[in-house]
Amino acid sequence: MTSTTTLNAGEMRLELVYLPATDIDRARDFYVQQCGWELITDHVQMEDMRIVQIVPPGSHCGILLGRNIPDITEMAAGSQRGIHLVVPDVAAAREKPAGNGVEMSEVQDLGGVLYSRFEDPDGNMWLLQQWPHGGTHDYS
């Protein structure tokens, strides 16, 4: 379910990040079916511009997949690297995608911060990240 929020003057919220993909259907299915993310929209507008938006569970920032989006879809597929998904328990968070066939790295401890990485079919790379306190950082 989506909702709207009024922003205060000067606020900027990161709400959508483009992810380059060679096959939009394959990428959408990977994230929705294998990773368990929510499909927000999948539509074509202006005859040949395709917009697909998905969102990871609990996230307020969606992921944009698409084609023929001016000034955006020129990025090379697989070029997005190191997007962090902060989770309270990295071992638990990697279970669902791993159980659905996503190749997940072993959990690495980098100074008390835990990571597990995975890639989509095009090679875009993600990191599951667990802070020692199990929460997230509030940058506001």
Domain boundaries, the chain: 16-130
pLDDT score for 68 = 94
How many Å separate Cα 59 from the centre of its chain?
A: 9
Structure tokens at 74: 């020129």
H/E/C letters for each residue in 36-98?
CCEEEEEEEECCCEEEEEEECCCCCCEEEEEECCCCCCCCCCCCCCCEEEECCCHHHHCHHHH
pTM for the full model?
0.87
> What confidence tier does 5 reach under pLDDT thresholds 50, 70, 90?
confident
Q: What percent of the chain has pLDDT over 70?
A: 92
pLDDT score for 13 = 86
Structure tokens at 118: 């995975």
What is the CATH superfamily name and number for domain 16-130? 2,3-Dihydroxybiphenyl 1,2-Dioxygenase, domain 1 (3.10.180.10)
Average pLDDT over residues 128-140: 75
Let me know: does 128 contact 90? Beta carbons within 8 Å: yes
Average pLDDT over residues 97-106: 96
User: For residues 27 and 33, what is the distance between their CA atoms, to the nearest angstrom?
Assistant: 10
Q: Of 110, 109, 105, which Cα lies nearest the Cα of 125?
A: 105
> What confidence tier does 139 reach under pLDDT thresholds 50, 70, 90?
low
Residue 76 has pLDDT above 60, yes or no: yes
